[in-house]
Amino acid sequence: MKPVEIKPGVYWVGAIDWNIRDFHGYSTYLGTTYNAYLILDDKITLVDTVKKPFLSELFHRIDQVVEPEKIDYLVVNHVEMDHSGSFPEVVERIQPEKIFCSEMGKKALQKHFHNQALPYEVVKTGDSVSIGSKTLHFLETRMLHWPDSMFTYLPGDRLLISSDAFGQHWATSERFDDEVDMGELMRHAAKYYANILLLYSPLVQKLLTKVQELNLDIDMIAPDHGLIWRTNWQQIIEAYDRWSKQLVRRKAVVVYDTMWHSTEKMIHAVANGLIDEGVEIKLMSLKACHRSDIVTEVLDAKGLVVGSPTINNGLFPTVADFLTYLKGLKPSGKVGFAIGSYGWSGEAPKLISKIFDEMKVEQIIEPIRIQYVPTHEELKKCYQAGRDLGRKIKESV
């Protein structure tokens, strides 16, 4: 695949990873891309590199535009290894005059690659550098989602190179948002936000405010993963505003695993109660659904029910895994309850409830615990709990 000119003199020269299926716990069932951008001007500039196994792809694409050795400047927007894994090899080959990065970026690069002598040029929000007819402006985006993260903005091209913000894990032969199905693109963008940036939602709100204050004139957003936003860039900014405010709908996510189907029967009764109250539900078994896909559904859901059988006086392993993952992302504004079956001890629902307390999930009832196989009357109790939760959701949203 050839490099793609996204603006006059600005080329996508990244790599496509068609086969990756796990990104530190996030299911990437359609792969991803590692986007890098080459800017031709008096000072030829490369913005970001790629994951190390894709170094040859990067150089192959650069070489179709210009000899890599002619690159003058390297900008490191983000030091995570999917973007800086090939950094040492790139630096060795191009011998850049300057390497632009944030203060935390410099520290991270030195900690990763243990080379103190490189020509680092530390920049901060508001700094700019002329590379000829084009100017690079820098905006630090600390903890979105690493301490070193920053944006590079080209005002003359109205182009925002946005590092890990506004991205998606999706490998495609297309490069732009208007070349793919918009509904699918937004689903991938929502999954990306839910699993990578949800934790930092308050900082996303501050960043969006800062972008407004700076009055950046944008008509294209080029992230480090996935499709480039050249037509619907306003839509993704609006979505980030909505997601970072954690706005929710009349929707409940009902998550569970089961051992001998007793917890599953209880969960189905709860789900039926929610449905009969007119609440949209996502019924998600941890045997069938990946944690990252469940979190994506949690993003805009008001209700959350988690069910687990008790095993060895504790949570079922898949439920413990999911709750650990979800708790770290700090979703807010949820309402729900815990549920589960047991044989002789019955700790699981109480443990879920404790985690819900730590997550500040408003629990409308005490955990429901049913021994062995639920009776018809016990299932009616679960059904009623679902209806009660459904009414609470409708009152709240």
Catalytic residue chosen out of the listed positions 17, 48, 82, 277: 82
**3-state DSSP of 146-173:** CCCCEEEEEHHHCEEECCCCCCCCCCCC
Query: Does one domain contain both 97 and 212?
Result: yes
Query: Does one domain contain both 94 and 154?
Result: yes
Give the domain CATH number at 55.
Answer: 3.60.15.10
Query: Does one domain contain both 140 and 222?
Result: yes
Query: Does one domain contain both 104 and 146?
Result: yes
Query: Does one domain contain both 266 and 227?
Result: no
Active site residue 82: yes
What does the DSSP assignment read for 155-223? GGGTEEE-TTTT------S--BGGGS-HHHHHHHHHHHIIIIIGGGHHHHHHHHHHHHHHT---SEEE-
Asked which of 196, 215, 244 is the last residue of a domain, the reply is 244
Q: What size, in residues, is the chain?
A: 397
Query: Rounded to 5 degrees, what are φ and ψ at 148?
Result: -90, -10
Residue-level pLDDT at 363: 94
Catalytic residue chosen out of the listed positions 225, 240, 256, 342: 225
Give the domain CATH number at 262.
Answer: 3.40.50.360
Query: Does one domain contain both 233 and 342?
Result: no
Catalytic residue chosen out of the listed positions 120, 192, 193, 200: 192
Query: Does one domain contain both 223 and 259?
Result: no
Active site residue 192: yes
Mean pLDDT confidence for 47-65: 97
Q: Kindly report the number of other CB atoms within 10 A of residue 335's CB atom.
A: 22
For the cut 90, the answer to whether the pLDDT of residue 65 exceeds it is yes
Q: What is the residue range of 113's domain?
A: 4-244
The tens digit of pLDDT for each residue in 169-226 reads 999 999 999 999 999 999 999 999 999 999 999 999 998 998 888 888 999 999 999 9
Instruction: For residue 284, name the pLDDT band (cuts at 50, 70, 90).
Output: very high
Mean pLDDT confidence for 237-243: 96
Active site residue 261: no
Catalytic residue chosen out of the listed positions 24, 114, 376, 377: 24
Catalytic residue chosen out of the listed positions 17, 48, 164, 347: 164
Query: Does one domain contain both 194 and 269?
Result: no
Active site residue 193: no
Burial of 222 (0-12, 13-18, 19+ CB in 10 A): buried
Query: Does one domain contain both 122 and 142?
Result: yes
Catalytic residue chosen out of the listed positions 80, 264, 293, 378: 80
Average pLDDT of the chain is 96
Catalytic residue chosen out of the listed positions 26, 41, 57, 78: 78
Q: What is the pTM of this model?
A: 0.94
Asked which of 244, 259, 278 is the last residue of a domain, the reply is 244
Half-sphere exposure of 38 (CA within 13 A, CB side): 27
Active site residue 24: yes
> How far apart are the C-alpha atoms of 267 and 14, rounded to whole Å?
45
Catalytic residue chosen out of the listed positions 83, 137, 145, 188: 145
Query: Does one domain contain both 141 and 184?
Result: yes
User: What domain count does the chain have?
Assistant: 2
Q: Are 13 and 62 in contact (CB under 8 A)?
A: yes
Active site residue 72: no
Active site residue 325: no
Instruction: For residue 24, name the pLDDT band (cuts at 50, 70, 90).
Output: confident
Query: Does one domain contain both 214 and 297?
Result: no
Query: Does one domain contain both 329 and 265?
Result: yes
Asked which of 197, 229, 244 is the last residue of a domain, the reply is 244
Active site residue 164: yes
